Amino acid sequence: MSAERLTSMFAARRAGNSTALLPFMTAGLPDPGHAVEMFEAMAGAGADGFEVGIPYSDPLMDGPIIQEGGARALATGVGLEEGLEIAGRVVARTGLPALVMTYANVVVQAGPDEFARRAADHGVSGVIVADLPLEEAGPIQEAVERAGLGMVLFAAPTTTEARLRRIVDAEPVFIYGVADLGVTGERKVASSRAGELAGRIRALTDIPLVLGVGISTPEQAAAVAASADGVIVGSALVRRVLEARTPADAISSVATGVREFRAAL
């Protein structure tokens, strides 16, 4: 798998005038033995690909739900290498593209080229580094692209026009549009700024746009679907894992959630 797999997926969705669904799930949930089965269930429920979260001890961008998910995974011994292995098995078992999401410190400690090589060896298609500012993204993006993977860059409602142009000029595999300010987590009311952000990005480029952060219900996903190539849903699904009593219940509940989001898109 490579960045082209993501590009093809977005192209197919555009041709079908529909929106991709990219569920986020922390690697290692509900437990290491059932982690891949969880992603298989999401694939069967209609996911187009995955954002696989590498458990990390200082997840600055994540709210309480995903923080708790990461802590549970770390407690079972799932770290970077185990997370990459799970991502690789997900790709092999589902045939869908997967991106790994991590933090800059993890990439820097491994070395950008070494991190990218290991990710590519496991068959993932792209990399999301949640706390990587555009000004410091160059060396990591270059390493990721040398490995044949796609780099994702963020844009928020507060991003200036000049900065948006620099993001576009960097040619990421897709732009992650932050639908709502703040950390990840569920919102009772959908962001009113996601559509405006999408319009500003669409005016500059046809690079795929994926909206995430705070998209918590199928109705909220449907409201932004027309303006984006894809939607990422994280906390609303991880919460189902945290609330489940058994791994089987977690897998069933998450699959139901993905099926509901897919139907809305």
245, amino acid identity: R
Contact 3, 125 (CB under 8 A): yes
- The one catalytic residue in 48, 51, 82, 180 is 51
How many CA within 13 A on the CB side of residue 111?
A: 4
| Integer Cα distance of 28 and 36 in angstroms | 8
HEC states along 43-96?
HHCCCCCEEEECCCCCCCCCCHHHHHHHHHHHHCCCCHHHHHHHHHHHHHHHCC
Token representation of residue 85: 């292995």
Give the H or E element holding residue 175. strand 174-178
**Burial class of 16 by CB neighbour count within 10 A (0 to 12, 13 to 18, 19+):** exposed
Catalytic residue, candidates 48, 62, 180, 229: 62
How far the first Cα of the chain sits from its last, in Å, is 25
Place of tokens 């009593």: 245
Cα(188)–Cα(219) distance, integer angstroms? 11
Return the half-sphere exposure (C-beta side, CA atoms, 13 A cut-off) of residue 16. Answer: 12
Residue 158, phi then psi, degrees to nearest 5: -90, 0
Q: Which two tokens stand for residue 9?
A: 């997926």
Q: Is 82 designated active site?
A: no
**Catalytic status, residue 121:** no
Active site residues: 51, 62
